Amino acid sequence: ICHPLHYTVMMRPRLCVLLVAVSWVITNLHALLHTLLMVQLTFCSHNAVHHFFCDPYPILKLSCSDTFINDITAFTVGGLTSITPFTCITVSYAYILSSVLKFPSIQGIRKALSTCGSHLTVVSLFYGAILGVYMHPSSTYSLQDTVATAFFTVVT
């Protein structure tokens, strides 16, 4: 949006592959970290997870071991993996807004902002639900968190 005629020059195939690879590596390392920490836990009650995907908090709730390290790790790493892209999105929109405000016509500004508005709505819903679910201890995980998880997974 900031440099529309330069898009094909800036978004080279190599950069696209790099962006996909970095995102794939980060998400897999994040999942591996949770898996390695969960392997050390013991589970003494029923092992039925009433969830539609393997989310760490419902599994931690089943553990009879001390999950303090898991909670701190989930909070820290989850915070970093949420705050970093959110910050990048915010900075990107600051650049977009500064470029859009240079448009000579009100129609152009309105069209650009309406396009950005729908994306910002989805980003707000996604990050709002994530922060609500993962920024508290696993012991307090509830049905509301399951609904919020379904919300940010399915709706957005």
pLDDT in tens, 122-134: 888 888 887 777 7
Predicted confidence at residue 126, as pLDDT, reads: 83
Q: How far apart are CA 139 and CA 63, in angstroms?
A: 10
Instruction: Give the model confidence (pLDDT) of 23-45 as tens digits.
Output: 999 989 988 999 999 999 998 87
Whole-number CA gyration radius for the chain: 20
Q: Which residues contact residue 70 at a Cβ distance below 8 angstroms, ignoring those fewer than 6 apart?
A: 34, 37, 38, 41, 56, 60, 138
The pLDDT of residue 14 is above 90: yes
**Number of C-alpha atoms within 13 angstroms, CB side, residue 136?**
13
Q: How far apart are CA 91 and CA 134, in angstroms?
A: 24
> What is the pTM (predicted TM-score) of this model?
0.68
